């Protein structure tokens, strides 16, 4: 084990040369050659190339400013094709994104606020997209059907919830709240592609920025559970319905890539680990386990769509995922109550530890799915 260091010490010059070579060969290439360099400062966003060949593009974003920045690639209508957040000053980070031919916008967001510093990006040609693989193409088609079905449920149950709120039926609205959210939570990563709608629909009180109103499910949740006074909640309810309709229209027509599915499956479990286990999501109603179950179901649905492709590419991963999800189901089943689940406040520390353990266990193989998809 010690040889490497000894060699490195006596051949320091070689090591430097080796490093450079290694760094170049390790970086992903875009369809048109090396990564597109993006120089971001607090006031400028220089994108090395504004015309690209279709395929998987790699951007290397270097933050030369003093503020933390973000980088986005938007399709028309500000649909996020890819994003990388939290690039600290001095850092270079890479974003890989699959871009079919079309017109896009790039954006740096110094300080992580506002529309960002925009630029046009033209992508042409028809280089084989990932979805040319038949199994992967079927995966996205299959998952899109899932999004369609869940969207229908989301519209229907949110309408019932909104109607109950506006009719002043507190108990009915309370009963419908976790049901409507179930459909939302199953497909949340798809909804999150549409940047500003997500916080309006699902924003929690502390994430609402200054100058923005606290709206959406959680605002109504607060009214229902904390004050019990929904006499002035009508406009919020109407706004929620409008926003949900808009996001459904976008989500059901969005072109998803297999990477979206893989990352979505992972993000749903990350949501569980950070928001649901802790009881932060539904802090007034404590119906977090409903959301927990819905996130897991959504994650399973994305994996199910990818399954034929994964069986070809990484069969051992499929076995691990099956075992992992089965363990989650078993742990979750202990907390069923009626048609739903116990309240977060009814769970013991030991219950939460067990749920956390099973989520961590399945999250590990889930985090390998994206790499298997691009392999």
Partner 1 sequence: MRMSRRRMFTVAGAGLAGSAAAAGAVALHASRDAPAAPPHDAVDFYGAHQAGIVTPAQDRLHFVAFDVITKDRARLVALLRLWTEAAARMTAGLDAGPVGAVGGIPEAPPDDTGEALGLPPSGLTLTLGLGPGLFRTPEGVDRFDLAAQRPDALAELPRFPADKLDPALSGGDLCVQACANDPQVAVHAIRNLARIGMGTVSVRWSQLGFGRTSSTTQSQATPRNLFGFKDGTRNLKAEETELLRDHLWVQPGDGPSWMDGGSYLVTRKVRMVIETWDRAPLGEQEAIVGRTKGTGAPLGLTGEFDEPDLTTLPEDAHVRLAHPDANAGARMLRRGYNFVDGSDGLGRLDAGLFFIAYQRDPRTAFIPVQTNLARHDAMNEYLRHTSSALFAVPPGVPEGGFWAQQLFG
Per CB under 8 A, which region of 7-15, 36-44, 158-166, 222-230 contacts partner 1?
Answer: 7-15
CB of 10 to partner 1, least distance (A): 5
Query: Would you say 18 or 111 has its CB closer to partner 1?
Result: 18
Residue from 64, 96, 169, 245 in contact with partner 1 (CB under 8 A): 96
Is there a contact between 339 and 288 (Cβ–Cβ < 8 Å)?
A: no
Q: Is 353 in the site for partner 1 (CB under 8 A)?
A: yes
Q: Is 6 in the site for partner 1 (CB under 8 A)?
A: yes
Interface with partner 1 (CB under 8 A), residue total 40
Residue from 73, 180, 187, 259 in contact with partner 1 (CB under 8 A): 259
| Nearest residue to 344 (alpha-carbon basis) of 297, 294, 296, 277 | 277
User: x/- contact string, 291-330, with partner 1 (CB under 8 A)?
Assistant: ---------------------------------x------
CB of 167 to partner 1, least distance (A): 46
Q: Is 92 in the site for partner 1 (CB under 8 A)?
A: no
Query: Would you say 26 or 171 has its CB closer to partner 1?
Result: 26
CB of 223 to partner 1, least distance (A): 33
DSSP 232-259: T-HHHHHHHHHHHHHHHHHHTT----HH
As a whole number of Å, the end-to-end CA separation of the chain is 31
CB neighbour class for 348 (10 Å; exposed up to 12, middle 13-18, buried from 19): exposed
Per CB under 8 A, which region of 154-162, 177-185, 248-256, 366-374 contacts partner 1?
Answer: 366-374
Phi and psi at residue 209, to the nearest 5°: -75, 160
CB of 247 to partner 1, least distance (A): 27
| Nearest residue to 289 (alpha-carbon basis) of 251, 341, 249 | 341
Distance CA 214, CA 233 (A): 12
Question: What angle, rounded to 10 degrees, do the helices at 288-313 and 134-166 form?
Answer: 170
Q: Is 367 in the site for partner 1 (CB under 8 A)?
A: yes
CB atoms within 10 A of CB 138: 15
Q: Is 334 in the site for partner 1 (CB under 8 A)?
A: no
Phi and psi at residue 357, to the nearest 5°: -60, -45
- Within 8 A by CB and 6+ apart from 229, the residues are 223
Residue from 32, 39, 49, 58 in contact with partner 1 (CB under 8 A): 58
Distance CA 145, CA 168 (A): 35
Name the site residues for partner 1 (rule: CB under 8 A): 1-2, 4-6, 8-10, 12-13, 15-16, 18-19, 21-23, 26, 28, 58, 94, 96, 259, 262, 324, 349, 353, 356-357, 360-364, 367-368, 370-371, 373-374
């Amino acid at each position: 084990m010690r040889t490497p260091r000894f060699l490195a010490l006596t051949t320091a010059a070689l090591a430097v040369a080796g490093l450079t070579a290694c760094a170049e060969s390790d970086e992903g290439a875009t369809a048109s050659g090396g990564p597109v360099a993006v120089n971001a400062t607090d006031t400028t966003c220089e994108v090395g190339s504004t015309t690209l060949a279709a395929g998987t593009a790699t951007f290397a974003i270097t933050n030369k400013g003093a503020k933390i920045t973000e980088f986005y690639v938007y399709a028309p209508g500000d649909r996020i094709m890819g994003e990388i957040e939290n690039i600290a000053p001095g850092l270079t980070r890479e974003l890989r994104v699959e871009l079919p031919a079309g017109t896009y916008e790039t954006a740096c967001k110094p300080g992580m606020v506002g529309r960002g510093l925009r630029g046009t990006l033209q992508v042409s040609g028809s280089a084989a997209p990932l979805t040319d693989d038949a199994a992967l193409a079927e995966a996205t088609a299959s998952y899109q059907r899932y999004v369609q079905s869940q969207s229908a449920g989301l519209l229907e149950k949110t309408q019932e919830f909104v109607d109950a709120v506006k009719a002043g039926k507190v108990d009915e609205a309370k009963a419908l709240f976790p049901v409507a959210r179930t459909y939302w939570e199953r497909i949340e990563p798809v909804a999150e592609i549409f940047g500003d709608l997500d916080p309006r629909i699902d924003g929690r009180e502390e994430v609402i920025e200054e100058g923005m109103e606290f709206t959406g499910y959680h605002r109504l949740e607060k009214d229902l559970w904390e004050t019990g006074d929904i006499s002035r909640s009508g406009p919020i309810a109407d706004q929620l319905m409008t926003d949900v309709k808009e996001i459904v229209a976008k989500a059901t027509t969005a072109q998803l890539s297999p990477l979206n599915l893989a990352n979505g499956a992972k993000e749903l479990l990350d949501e569980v680990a950070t928001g649901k286990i802790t009881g932060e999501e539904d802090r007034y109603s404590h119906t977090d386990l409903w959301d927990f179950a819905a996130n897991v179901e959504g994650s399973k649905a994305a994996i199910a769509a990818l399954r034929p492709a994964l069986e070809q590419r990484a069969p051992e991963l499929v076995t691990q995922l099956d075992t992992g999800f089965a363990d989650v189901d078993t742990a979750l089943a202990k907390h069923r109550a009626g048609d739903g689940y116990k309240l977060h406040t009814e769970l013991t520390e030991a219950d939460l530890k067990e749920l956390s353990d099973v989520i961590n266990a399945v999250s590990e193989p889930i985090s390998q799915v994206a790499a298997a998809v691009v392999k």
